[in-house]
Structure 1
Amino acid sequence: MSTLRLSIPGISLGCDYNPEQWTPDVWREDVALMSEAGVDLVAVNIFGWSSVEPAAGQYEFDDLDEVIGLLHANGIKINLGTGTSSPPPWLTTLHPEVLPVAADGTTRFPGGRQAWCPSSPVFRDRAYDLVRHVADRYGDHPALALWHVSNELGCHNALCYCETSAEAFRSWLRRRYGKIETLNEAWGTAFWSQRYGDWAEIQPPRAALSARNPAQIVDFHRFSSDELLDYYRGETEILRARSAAPVTTNFMVTAHIRNLDYWSWAPEMDVIANDHYLDHRLGDPVAELAFAADLTRGLSGGAPWMLMEQAAGAVNWQPHNLTKAPGEMLRNTLTHVSRGADSVCFFQWRASAQGAEKFHSAMLPHAGTDTVAWREVLRLSATLDRIGEVAGTRVESRVAVLFSWDSWWSSEGEARPSQEVKYLDQVHATHRALRELGITADVVSPDADLSAYRLVVVPGLYMVGDLAAVRIADYVADGGHLLVTFFSGIVDERDRIRLGGYPGAFRDVLGVLAEEFAPLKPEQEVALTTGGTGTLWTERLRTTSAETIASYADGPMPGTPAITRNTFGAGTAWYVSTALDAVSLRDLTGDIAKNAGVELLALQPSGDVEIVRRTGDGRSYLFVINHGAAPVEYPVTGFDLVADQDIHGLLRVEGGGTAVVRENTNAEGGGTAVVQENTKRGDRS
């Protein structure tokens, strides 16, 4: 059994290693400890540029040779970075023109990371030359399992406003629109006398004295995503010409990074890999983790994927960097695995003694191996051994949540009805309701084929193209069930308002028409006739063919519909015109899902307990992850791979505990442990 074309059996465990920060005696100690911890895969040379090319054209690979040799001798595969993620000081000194420029026109200097302009031909030439040397040296190395292009592309430098980027933006616009008249129409440049007579007049949307052109800003986001993707393709072309190993880069599907449209990136990846860190700035970071995992699976087309980075404990870049409690690392990891990850890795192996990330946690902490953190790593490794047979199975879902980077960029523009309305808030709220009901949703593009789903959820899809709108309407007409939330369908792909009343693209399928928005102040709450409450948003809404399920009992629009249901063709479409309280949204979603014939795995809705199923080749695995303090019981018969015991009809998972049950589908007694195809992680003989 292989995982993600990595030639590693079972659920692989990996880490990011930066040997350039340590001496050779530490390398040997580290590799021995990696073997003890059962590490299968190590990412190296992620930030190695200045080590392997200390001066222009001067390449020194001896240290990297030794590290890779040590790993290979101990049976550990490598995830080899191309080393291009941050330029060395000699490059920015020789060529300061590669440095990125912010929206206010000021240059961003070296001292951090990613101090380079994605459009810079000088940077590309130097980076691609490095990639050629690395690929020539290691392209056929027996330890090579995966190529790691750059690192977290676009994390800091996705949007560059320099003159080089400006010219690249103009070229991108020429390809997209062909004629300057077409661009003027698309951007609505008749407004505020912005009409362009020549391509040379166009600039990136740099800082201005007032609100900027929103269509221009959205196109600049699209351009910036495409420009970095083009850079990725350049590295990939070099690697594939010199090596048969799969190629990828680490996505950042997370709540605070929104710069790249990964729907366009995903087809270019041999392996879908994601970096994810718990974000304690959010109200429910564990729920966001589950959403990110489902979205990553969506990017992978449902196939198993790779968690390239997560934290063993605290990160170092949030206002309050909270450590993980005992058992939390295992629960977080199994949440990713339950939702499709067949490889899980950490940043990083050994905690740094110096540098900006010296307070970032690692598998091997500053205090060494006589620590809770190290014992948690060993516990996780042993658990991944026991559940290795899950690898290769898939998560099957009959519910889809539509997600769009275009809508994220456009709905949070500078001049909008309410600055309090955030795209991800709506997305997270609907996904959290499904999760608490025990419904695992596929997170897919608005352009996806929806025919396999019984329920499609459309949260805050502000920007939607004509073809996607027709596809969604056809889905309902053919018998599908649809749930749409407010601020959806408002503009087309040019950011042009769909005239005739809101919610624009979805008026007919929903059977409603809103004359105007009526946002609420942050502290304001409205009551609904069903007993629930709403915040943030209301609308002057009327039904055209829909049935009113709930109305506003007070607020700016008393008596007007708040929740509606419409029969459209053979299907049903629901509309929610306010930010419902969590319980009301969950109850409504549960009713809609049951009417759509969707199975709810949760016996009682809960934010503390995750229940997810993976299936394949006649096998079925039920994951029960208890994030709460109280024990839970669940009816299932099979074999719990985590506890290594038979389950006869009722599974008990203690507070903070986990279970992965190989289900006995014929309900005849428990199973027996499957002999692992791979050696135990601590045995490298």
Structure 2
Amino acid sequence: MIWYGGDYNPEQWPESVWPDDVRLMRTAGVTLATVGVFSWARIQPAEGEFDFDWLDRVLDLLHGGGIKVCLATATASPPPWATAKYPAMLTQNREGATRWPGSRQHYAPTSPDYRRLAAELVTAIVDRYKDHPAVTMWHVNNEFGCHLTYDYSDRAAAAFRVWLRARYGDIDALNTAWGTWFWSQRYTDFEQIVPPRLAPYSVNPGGLLDFRRFSSDALLDLFRMEKKIIRDAGAPQPVTTNFIGAWPTTDYWAFAAEVDVVSDDCYPDPRDPESFRHAAFARDLMRSLKPGTPWILMEQAPNAVNWRSNNAPKAPGQMTALSMQAVARGADGILFFQWRQAAAGAEKFHSAMLPHAGPETRTYREVAALGAELSTLDLPAPGGEARVAIVFDWHSWWAIDQPDHPAQFDYHAQALGWHNAFHELNVQVDIVRPDGPFDGYALVVAPSLYLLRDADALLAFVAGGGRLLATAFTDVVDEHDRFLPGGFTTRLGPALGVRVVEFAGSLPSDGRAFEWDGESHLTDVLTEELQLAGAEVLARFTPDGAPALTRNSHGKGEAYYLATMTDRAGRLALARHLADRSGVAPVMPDLPYGVEAAARADTVVLINHTPSPVTLPDRTQLAPYAHTIRHPPVR
């Protein structure tokens, strides 16, 4: 069964509208409504006072209509009475300015007042509804870290010191990890440490890295607090919180271990012709966070959003194409923000399943048609489709996203670029942690794995017969963002057969390139000087002839090293070579541009993501933004 529906905010509408909502939901094939995400002010009008009568009627009405409920804990947006009474709940930016209420996510994760009030709210909600027959899932908070990035207040500073004490034990260990003899930053007491606030110049890299770790952990601790309340109350339903693709502030590998079901919010730009590839990366990440377990697309836009500088609508069929992409890549739930378009507030121009113009609209007709199709699908759980994996690591992202490097670059964009290359070849890809496991993969790609905490799993993968590609700025520092004795690539060096000696910023305008597969590819961002330690040179930089791409046998496998960051054509050529050499076949070969093929177990979904009709190699015709599902033959 595939869940279908979206966020439902009945508190924004008179009660006379609610029965019509349920009627139109049934017509559209809705089976699941997410209720109460931003309902704190309606549920709790004052401290110690709760009003559940309206919510009782909403849940009973949905249940009577055969619609299940993903019930939110409503903790994402504290009401005005809470912040007025407890202003210490509010966060401060690195300049010391308070982030005031009037928006959302205006709370400090480490605030005792917020945590106490949130715990009281969750307890009251769960105690009342844990046995309600409509409630099938719990939705904790909302998009952790989305607008609430980092808190630099004194309260956050105190919590950061507690976190550091637990991590390092004593101040000398912290000083060693952060290298505080530099610039006379030596601490003699944890109480001297403050978050990386506005400073005259660059702050300590190790301190900034740990602050980002602490901030992600603080959000995860909030999730754990709410989940514990739900479980201690005896509620048996699965618990989730909605992720936001590869989000920079929040380590989803850590969150994935805690959620029962992975869910994601994804809003590709309809104006970007490559947005379906970016969306595919997010889908593959969600599927990979809990291997073998279906996930839920918790939010997407039925049509246009409101928050870009210029908001394009989705073309006819485009919403369905992107929805089916999620299904093909492991989703067992397709939901939207939101059911009924808001009449007021910051998101009133955001599209909804039921627009202001009502059901006689293209948006609602497409929503209803998708609901009808999804109701007929019964797909196997995902798992085991990919033989290629791309390493993605939040700690490397946090360490790279700092100044004072040989060149500034976007770690996420590098990982996305390599994923796009395999996606263009219709080669299925999983996203994996840097420490694996790598079982079942023929090829692992590690783009700019700068901060390498443990190389053992990658070394064992290659020695056991796997194929590894590492790219520039890999294996540079330890977990504290410190160089190791002996220089760079000290841990992966035995497998790579090279040693990085020096880094140089590089721009396409520099004219430096490397020859590969009969074509010249411009270098970008960074090039490295290599010393060979047994590796074979496959490509050299022009004009100096220095090694650019190497290959080395290690145990039963082999490891490649690309000493630069290249363009789309370079990534595509190398991805094709590596897939062929690894014996990895595409899900379906020779597809026209913009047609993707994704496998879910032994079922294949083909989707045309272009505004033009296409002809597949077997002469099947696909209309613009149309799809077809190839089930395995019945035996």
TM-score by length of 2: 0.96
User: Following TM superposition, by how much is the alpha carbon of 1:393 offset from its aligned partner in structure 2, in angstroms?
Assistant: 4.5
CA distance in 1, matches of 2:338, 2:624: 28
Aligned to 1:660: 629
Superposed counterparts of 1:390-401, under 5 Å: 390-394=379-383, 396-401=385-390
Aligned to 2:441: 453
Task: Choose from 234, 239, 251 the match for 1:247.
Answer: 239
Are residue 540 (structure 1) and residue 518 (structure 2) matched? no
Instruction: Say whether the 8 Å CA contact 2:36–2:72 is kept in structure 1.
Output: yes
Residues 255-289 of structure 1 show CA distances to partners (whole Å, capped at 9, x for unaligned) of xx311111111111111111111146978321110
Superposed counterparts of 1:172-321, under 5 Å: 172-242=163-233, 243-254=235-246, 257-279=247-269, 284-321=274-311
* Structure 2 letter corresponding to 1:356: A
Task: Choose from 129, 138, 142 the match for 1:147.
Answer: 138
The alignment of Structure 1 onto Structure 2 pairs a total of residues equal to 630
Instruction: Say whether the 8 Å CA contact 1:436–1:602 is kept in structure 2.
Output: no
CA distance in 2, matches of 1:559, 1:572: 23
Query: Which consecutive residues of structure 2, in runs of 5 or more, have no partner in the other structure?
Result: none
Instruction: Say whether the 8 Å CA contact 1:487–1:503 is kept in structure 2.
Output: no
Superposed counterparts of 1:585-604, under 5 Å: 585-604=571-590
Instruction: Say whether the 8 Å CA contact 2:465–2:557 is kept in structure 1.
Output: yes
Superposed counterparts of 1:590-669, under 5 Å: 590-604=576-590, 607-615=593-601, 620-628=602-610, 629-635=612-618, 651-664=620-633
Task: Choose from 320, 337, 350 the match for 1:330.
Answer: 320
Superposed counterparts of 1:507-518, under 5 Å: 507-518=493-504
CA distance in 2, matches of 1:244, 1:658: 37
CA-based RMSD: 1.7
Instruction: Say whether the 8 Å CA contact 1:339–1:395 is kept in structure 2.
Output: no
CA distance in 2, matches of 1:321, 1:521: 32
Secondary structure of 2:76 counterpart: coil
Secondary structure of 1:517 counterpart: strand
* Structure 2 letter corresponding to 1:376: E
Secondary structure of 1:516 counterpart: strand
Aligned to 1:16: 7
Superposed counterparts of 1:109-128, under 5 Å: 109-128=100-119
Aligned to 2:368: 378
Q: Alpha carbons of 1:191 and 1:219: their partners in 2 closer, same or farther (altered >3 Å)?
A: same
Residues 429-484 of structure 1 show CA distances to partners (whole Å, capped at 9, x for unaligned) of 1101111111111101112211321110101111111x2x1221121111110111
Residues 316-356 of structure 1 show CA distances to partners (whole Å, capped at 9, x for unaligned) of 22222221001101110111111100111100011111101
Are residue 570 (structure 1) and residue 569 (structure 2) matched? no
Query: Which consecutive residues of structure 1, in runs of 5 or more, have no partner in the other structure?
Result: 1-9, 636-649, 667-685
Residues 87-117 of structure 1 show CA distances to partners (whole Å, capped at 9, x for unaligned) of 0000111111110111111110001101110
* Structure 1 letter corresponding to 2:195: P
Are residue 418 (structure 1) and residue 407 (structure 2) matched? yes
* Structure 2 letter corresponding to 1:571: G
User: Following TM superposition, by how much is the alpha carbon of 1:541 offset from its aligned partner in structure 2, in angstroms?
Assistant: 2.4
* Structure 2 letter corresponding to 1:401: I
Are residue 405 (structure 1) and residue 386 (structure 2) matched? no
Instruction: Say whether the 8 Å CA contact 1:212–1:414 is kept in structure 2.
Output: no
Q: Alpha carbons of 1:353 and 1:306: their partners in 2 closer, same or farther (altered >3 Å)?
A: same
Residues 508-550 of structure 1 show CA distances to partners (whole Å, capped at 9, x for unaligned) of 2111223211212364443323322122222222322111111
User: Following TM superposition, by how much is the alpha carbon of 1:371 offset from its aligned partner in structure 2, in angstroms?
Assistant: 1.2
Instruction: Say whether the 8 Å CA contact 1:150–1:249 is kept in structure 2.
Output: yes
Q: Alpha carbons of 1:24 and 1:249: their partners in 2 closer, same or farther (altered >3 Å)?
A: same
Instruction: Say whether the 8 Å CA contact 1:149–1:236 is kept in structure 2.
Output: yes
Secondary structure of 2:403 counterpart: coil
Residues 418-437 of structure 1 show CA distances to partners (whole Å, capped at 9, x for unaligned) of 12x21012101110111111
Are residue 348 (structure 1) and residue 338 (structure 2) matched? yes
Residues 203-231 of structure 1 show CA distances to partners (whole Å, capped at 9, x for unaligned) of 11111110111111111111111111111
* Structure 2 letter corresponding to 1:632: T
Instruction: Say whether the 8 Å CA contact 1:153–1:251 is kept in structure 2.
Output: yes
CA distance in 2, matches of 1:14, 1:584: 41
Secondary structure of 2:492 counterpart: helix
Residues 38-78 of structure 1 show CA distances to partners (whole Å, capped at 9, x for unaligned) of 10000111110100111111111111111111101000000
Aligned to 1:83: 74
CA distance in 2, matches of 1:633, 1:364: 35
Secondary structure of 2:207 counterpart: helix
CA distance in 2, matches of 1:578, 1:157: 35
User: Following TM superposition, by how much is the alpha carbon of 1:187 offset from its aligned partner in structure 2, in angstroms?
Assistant: 0.7
Instruction: Say whether the 8 Å CA contact 1:437–1:606 is kept in structure 2.
Output: no
Q: Alpha carbons of 1:527 and 1:392: their partners in 2 closer, same or farther (altered >3 Å)?
A: closer
Q: Alpha carbons of 1:97 and 1:244: their partners in 2 closer, same or farther (altered >3 Å)?
A: same
Task: Choose from 469, 487, 491 the match for 2:473.
Answer: 487
User: Following TM superposition, by how much is the alpha carbon of 1:605 offset from its aligned partner in structure 2, in angstroms?
Assistant: 6.4
User: Following TM superposition, by how much is the alpha carbon of 1:664 offset from its aligned partner in structure 2, in angstroms?
Assistant: 1.4
User: Following TM superposition, by how much is the alpha carbon of 1:633 offset from its aligned partner in structure 2, in angstroms?
Assistant: 1.5
User: Following TM superposition, by how much is the alpha carbon of 1:601 offset from its aligned partner in structure 2, in angstroms?
Assistant: 2.5
Task: Choose from 443, 455, 458 the match for 2:431.
Answer: 443
CA distance in 1, matches of 2:110, 2:393: 25
CA distance in 2, matches of 1:513, 1:60: 66
User: Following TM superposition, by how much is the alpha carbon of 1:606 offset from its aligned partner in structure 2, in angstroms?
Assistant: 5.7
* Structure 2 letter corresponding to 1:41: L
CA distance in 2, matches of 1:344, 1:20: 23
Aligned-pair identity in percent equals: 44
Secondary structure of 2:22 counterpart: helix
CA distance in 2, matches of 1:656, 1:22: 34
Instruction: Say whether the 8 Å CA contact 1:248–1:272 is kept in structure 2.
Output: yes
Secondary structure of 2:600 counterpart: strand
User: Following TM superposition, by how much is the alpha carbon of 1:665 offset from its aligned partner in structure 2, in angstroms?
Assistant: 6.9
Secondary structure of 1:42 counterpart: strand
Aligned to 1:368: 358
Are residue 550 (structure 1) and residue 533 (structure 2) matched? no
Aligned to 2:415: 427
Instruction: Say whether the 8 Å CA contact 1:491–1:497 is kept in structure 2.
Output: yes
* Structure 2 letter corresponding to 1:491: V
CA distance in 1, matches of 2:375, 2:125: 33
Superposed counterparts of 1:492-531, under 5 Å: 492-521=478-507, 523-530=509-516, 531=519
CA distance in 1, matches of 2:175, 2:163: 15
More displaced 10-residue stretch of structure 1: 44-53 or 594-603: 594-603
CA distance in 1, matches of 2:198, 2:617: 56
Q: Alpha carbons of 1:267 and 1:310: their partners in 2 closer, same or farther (altered >3 Å)?
A: same
TM-score by length of 1: 0.89
CA distance in 1, matches of 2:360, 2:200: 57
Secondary structure of 2:584 counterpart: coil
Are residue 47 (structure 1) and residue 38 (structure 2) matched? yes
